[in-house]
Structure 1
Amino acid sequence: MNDELRIAIRAVQLYAERHPRPPQVTITQAAEMLGLSRHTVSKMVRAGQFKLNRCGMIPVEQIDAALQPV
């Protein structure tokens, strides 16, 4: 592995360690993560594909599951 790639990988690891992912996201944030519109994610919530928590946010685990290949 060349030096530039090793440095880039380490930089990403350090960033991830210092900026942990939030446990929950808004509908707008979920839409950005999924590459969908806010309207589409709202429809998915109404259809029961995503469940909002008590704070009205989507747990990030649901987003991760939606991003997994079938």
Structure 2
Amino acid sequence: MTEQEAIDMAVRAVSIYAGRHPRPSQATAKQAGEMLNLSRPTVRKLMDAGKLRYNQCGLIPIEQVDALLACRD
């Protein structure tokens, strides 16, 4: 198997997985921390500072997590 074939296979596998396991529309502080590679207390600090907004249930909309991830790139 060539390197390109392995990459193509991995891309297909990720696509299949994503199709079967859609991302949640919101996340807990712990889940957001896992996605952002931050600790839960750090995520709470970001929430308290207003850098991560959360809804009335205390959950973080996935768009907020995506926005922080985009800032890192």
2:37 — aligned with what?
35
Letter in 2 for 1:12: V
Q: Give, in whole Å, the separation in 2 of the partners of 1:54 and 1:3.
A: 46
Structure showing greater relative contact order (alpha-carbon pairs closer than 8 Å, 6 or more residues apart): 1
After TM superposition, the structure 1 = structure 2 runs for residues 1-70 of structure 1, keeping only pairs within 5 Å, are: 2-69=4-71
Tell me the number of residue pairs that the alignment of Structure 1 and Structure 2 aligns.
70
Identity of aligned residues (%): 51
Runs of 4 or more consecutive aligned structure 1 residues displaced over 3 Å after TM superposition: none
The normalised TM-score by structure 1 is 0.88
Unaligned runs of 5+ in 1: none
Letter in 2 for 1:33: M
Partner-residue secondary structure (3-state), 2:71: coil
- Displacement of 1:53 after TM fit? 0.7
Higher helix share: 2
Aligned-residue RMSD, C-alpha: 1.5
